[in-house]
Structure 1
Amino acid sequence: MARIDFIQSLHASSRRNYIQRVVEHDKAACATVARQFGADYWDGERCYGYGGYRYDGRWRPVAERLAAHYGLRPGHRVLDIGCGKGYLLYELTQAVPGIEVAGIDISSYGIDHAKEEIRPFLQVGDCRTLPYPDASFDFVVSLGTFHNLPLEGVWQALREMQRVGRGPGKYFMVESFRTEEEKVNLLYWQLTCLSFHSPESWAWIAEQAGYDGDCGFIFFE
């Protein structure tokens, strides 16, 4: 399993006040609301999640890098696990015209408010039990989703990701930490995480699940 960074520069472009996150609001109450993955999480106040998640083109460079690295071409079938509002999938269709896309997310609000062009290809569902046949996608991607599951759920989701993909074209990204400082920052900032692991531990979990794709991480520096 190769470790590849497609996201950290985008992640690092947002400034975060970690201490303010835990003293300005009731963090536990905010996390409880966030884990409903509803309107407050996507488009409510920042203390509950994104603080307004709207299309702004930020995912185009990521889509282009993914498409180039995995050799995506017209006719390929692509699945985004935890697709949210579908912005990455939309950008993939722009980067590689003619690909076929599908997305799944636990949030009905996210799907209902997805980018209009991509919404017909998305559905509400659980990444631990994907509603797709074996080996039905040429490329499967999941960004910022699996850390929201308990450990047993991570194992199930990775098994499902492995099952529906064909070949080596699989990539997941999760939040992680390399130092004690990054671990504390992650704990301060996160609202929805249930699994907190170092990159080495994530790699071990993926191996135990039989996952043979690639992975990446974002760090709260």
Structure 2
Amino acid sequence: MKNEDQTPYHSSKIWEVSLVSLVSVAQKMKEYYQLAEDCAILDIGCAKGFLLHDFKELMPNCTIAGIDVSEYAIENAMPSVKSYLKVANAERLPYPDKSFDLVISINSIHNLSLEPLKAALKEVERVSRGHSYITVDAWRNEMERENLYKWVLTAETMMHVDDWKKLFKEVGYTGDYWWFIAD
């Protein structure tokens, strides 16, 4: 989805569901990206694999993969997806070019400092076959910036939405994105 100046973005409608179950999020992503039943999906910052589990439930023939820097998360992942997950970092994804129909990173990639984050965005582009979706911490005004800095625990890179857009353009990230805004 692109806006009038061709800057990619993504509708928040994906998140207009109860987060008690992410099945609805997986379903909306499947529909929006027109994912085939045998698609390949990578989740960067997958934690214990909950969203990948939901994709696999929705599309049993899809290929899933997830990475996280947390050994604890991978060791304690959902049994249904644990074998598809590995400890790795986003700056050097352990996959060949154009391996995935959809690459997602939900509230994870902003946990990197700026230079590793740039490398990670380039890696998303490298392993994606054209569809990617990330969410990052951002603000639109001073009040939101102050709220974000009070609330955020792990994010290393937080910026004004316009600065994120500039960064995406600078590194060649062409996928969809959305903001977490503490308003």
- Taking structure 1 as the reference length, what is the TM-score of the superposition? 0.75
Alignment of 1:76-115 (within 5 A): 76-115=39-78
- The gaps in structure 1 that reach 5 residues or longer are 14-55
The equivalent residue for 1:27 is none
Question: Sequence identity, in percent?
Answer: 36
CA contact (8 A) 1:86 1:103 kept: yes
- The gaps in structure 2 that reach 5 residues or longer are 1-6
CA contact (8 A) 2:138 2:179 kept: yes
The equivalent residue for 1:205 is 167
Aligned with residue 138 of structure 1, among 101, 112, 115: 101
CA contact (8 A) 1:6 1:216 kept: no
The equivalent residue for 1:171 is 133
Relative distance call for 1:77 and 1:202 in structure 2 (3 A) is same
Distance 2:15 2:145 in 1: 16
Relative distance call for 1:6 and 1:162 in structure 2 (3 A) is farther
* CA deviation profile, 1:152-190 (whole Å, cap 9, x unmatched): 1111000000001112x1111111112211111110011
CA contact (8 A) 1:140 1:161 kept: yes
Q: CA deviation at 1:57?
A: 4.5
Distance 2:154 2:28 in 1: 27
Q: CA deviation at 1:6?
A: 4.9
The equivalent residue for 2:23 is 60
Aligned Cα root-mean-square deviation (Å): 1.6
Report the count of equivalent residues: 176
Which stretches of structure 1, 4 residues or more, deviate above 3 A after TM superposition? 6-10
Amino acid paired to 1:3: Y
Distance 1:174 1:7 in 2: 15
| SS across alignment from 1:83 | coil
Relative distance call for 1:179 and 1:8 in structure 2 (3 A) is farther
Distance 1:68 1:174 in 2: 22
Alignment of 1:12-51 (within 5 A): none
Could you say which structure has the larger radius of gyration? 1
